[in-house]
A and B are shown apart, each in its own frame.
Chain A
Amino acid sequence: MDYLIAVGECLQRGNSGETRENVIKALEVGVSHQEILNHMLEVMEVVGRKFKKNELFVPEVLIIGRAFNVALEVISPLLAVEEKYLGTVVIGAVKGDLHDIGKNLVKMLMVGTGVRVIDLGVDVPAAKFVEAIKTYEPDIVAMSSLLTTTMIQVSKTIKEIQKAGLRDKVKIIIGGAPVTNNYAKNIGSDFYAIDAGTAAEIVREYIQKNS
């Protein structure tokens, strides 16, 4: 039995228990942990694409993300530090914004691309983003705003990052229902993502190119 293929199939179905079991069996028959991880990342890329095309929806993506994390727990101790993550992203919904479904999906799909994601949660003040940049030295800062009224906080946070002298140390990506590409350009964001799948793609491409 090809346990590696079984890992992918169980992961796509979001079955945490079976994904975990097949990861363990694959390791037992000598499949390398790196090979397993790469295969899981390939599956997550497909998940991201399907989500973007409206072929998968929030419940399915959340459940697949859960299975991915369970399987990752098995492999994680075997990975060397440099193998673990392609890069680091700090993510949060800006001050005044409590909407976390979109932000959580972006986080999940980013994790699924092999990136370490530091989640600051919702209603995150600018100062907390600044502090996180100093602490985690991320490649990218990702901000979401679901309300027209909290969009201004995205701009304020970018200004605070600038003021702290950290702007040239990170790239910034923003998204959320009212945010547009034009708005992103106007307030000095490096990237704009129309949906969660696109956000994960942009981050992966950027980090791969620059790592």
Chain B
Amino acid sequence: MTGKERVLMTLNHKMADRVPWVPFAGVHAASLIGKNATEALTDGDVLFDSLMEVKKLYAPDGMPVIFDLQIEAEILGCELLWADKGPPSVASHPLEDTTKLPCDCTQPAPDKGRLPMVTDVMKRMSAEVGEDTALYGLICGPFTLASHLRGNNLFMDMILNEEYVNSLMEFTTTTALKMIDMYIDAGMDVIAVVDPLVSQISPEHFESMCHESFKTIFDYIKAKGKASSFFVCGNATRQIEVMCKTDPDSISIDENVVMKDAKEITDKYNITIGGNIPLTTLMLHGTQQENMKFVVNMIDELSNDNLIIAPGCDMPFNVPAENTIGVAQAVRETDKVRTMVENYEAPKEDIYVELPDYDNLDKPLVEVFTLDSATCAACTYMMGAMNVAGDEYGKKIELVEYKFTEKENIARCVKMGVTNLPCVYINGKLQWSSIIPSKEELFKVIDGLL
């Protein structure tokens, strides 16, 4: 079963061979190829290359092409403040001082703003990986887009000028439908409507002022034969039920919502739920072991039907690649990783490991530590790169792989202080972690030791 089949089957509420994995690598993708967020969000080649790196390292079943809720706002006249390590923020709201509606002529069209670049990358991704990977086209939800246009006054309007909010929501719903047309034409399999601000209004307000818009959007996606998802951020515990009533195929939540409780509600409506690996405390600041353990626990604790494992929201730029690799492995090989985590935490006094005498080696020693090069994509590439060196240098170097699936190897990792996999140590010193070196870089290091 391909990743794409797995995602689409799950969004169609059927049990796949395992739970799908959808990393929300937005700006983080750029970090994998040494570029910044602005470069990836404005330059199609950088965006494409960074997405291909995500595909290679994280082996996703599904992935977003671009995670930027400001694309529509920019076209509609909001000024943006760009950042190196995050998506841009909206710096001005064209409707802040007026309750007029924008002209329909300002609505997004294929040639406006960054859309030519975005749809081109979507088409390239669709051609390159679309056969086996479900591609997500993310659009800004109508409520958040309304707030981009009107600013914080929108919240007051909900009480003081309901009619205006309804008209503005009609406008932003039209925007959403236009974006859906363009993204589906560019090859997207799933349309995710990302509306973080929904968590900030009462369920009653959602029903009276947002329900109609979201229902229209999800019905439209369904009518076009594609799958849909409703992404929300923040503590949306009280909104999950009203979100379900708008009929998306899935809902994606962040760490502020208790997944088990939310899933009880989404299960009642037969809606798939995705989430909710904590972004900062775990993905950004946690260890690889902690990330793997969290995901295994999540898979063990929840019923695996109607479930997608994903980060809570757009991953922070600086998430260590090895943490995401650990998560990917925990989803793909849950049983093996459960054992790894148990072995890692178990006392290791009874396992004796002798480390080489690194100061007196006969020849360069290349030690590759992997989660399991047979099943972990990043590990496969890392091992593959080292095997190229093995073929090139033959007996001039010694090449060893230690898989984390063996207790002895876990003990070795602990003794050597190896914490993130896959990685390569040369002569006892950490040389590469997670990011696979180019052939030239690898050969240069080895040549320097011969």
Contacts and interface: CB of A to CB of B under 8 A. Distances in A.
B237 A148 contact: no
B234 interface: yes
Given A148-B284, A148-B317, A57 B83 contact: no
Interface string B251-281: 0000000000000000000000000000111
Contacts of A14: 159
Given A148-B86, A148-B280, A180-B281, A58 B155 contact: yes
Classify the secondary structure of A's interface with B.
Answer: loop
Given A148-B316, A149-B83, A180 B280 contact: yes
Interface of B: 81, 83-86, 89-91, 152, 155-156, 158-160, 200-202, 205, 233-235, 237-238, 279-281, 284, 316-318
A147 B159 contact: no
Contacts of B317: 148-149
A77 interface: no
A18 interface: no
B237 A54 contact: yes
Given A148-B317, A177-B234, A178-B279, A59 B83 contact: no
A58 B201 contact: yes
Interface string A66-109: 10000000000000000000000000000011111100100000
Given A58-B201, A178-B279, 12 more contacts: A54-B237, A59-B155, A59-B201, A59-B202, A59-B205, A60-B159, A97-B89, A98-B81, A147-B86, A148-B317, A149-B316, A182-B281
A62 interface: yes
Nearest to A146: B89
A211 to B, nearest CB: 31
A104 B316 CA distance: 25
Contacts of A123: 81
Contact of B156 (A54, A63, A147, A150): A63
B284 A62 contact: no
B158 A59 contact: yes
Nearest to A104: B152
B279 A54 contact: no
A101 B279 CA distance: 21
Interface string A122-162: 01000000000000000000000001111000000000000
Interface of A: 14, 54, 56-60, 62-63, 66, 96-101, 104, 123, 147-150, 177-178, 180, 182
Contact of B85 (A66, A101, A149): A149
A123 B89 CA distance: 11
A103 to B, nearest CB: 10
Contacts of A147: 83, 86, 89
Contacts of B316: 148-149, 178
The listed residue with most A CB atoms (<10 A of its CB), out of B89, B201, B235, B317, is B89
B103 to A, nearest CB: 25
Contacts of B159: 14, 59-60, 63
A57 B200 CA distance: 6
Contacts of B86: 147-150
A195 B340 CA distance: 37
Nearest to A13: B159
16 contacts: A54-B235, A58-B155, A60-B159, A63-B159, A98-B81, A99-B89, A101-B200, A123-B81, A147-B83, A148-B86, A148-B284, A148-B317, A149-B83, A149-B84, A149-B316, A180-B281
Nearest to A99: B89
Nearest to B85: A149
A178 B280 contact: yes
B284 A101 contact: no
Contacts of B280: 148, 178, 180
A158 to B, nearest CB: 18
Contacts of B284: 148
Contacts of A149: 83-86, 316-317
Contacts of B158: 59
Nearest to B254: A177
A57 B202 contact: yes
Contact of A54 (B90, B238, B318): B238
A145 to B, nearest CB: 11
Contacts of B205: 57, 59
Nearest to A147: B86
Contacts of B234: 177
A148 B279 contact: yes
Given A148-B280, A149-B317, A98 B90 contact: yes
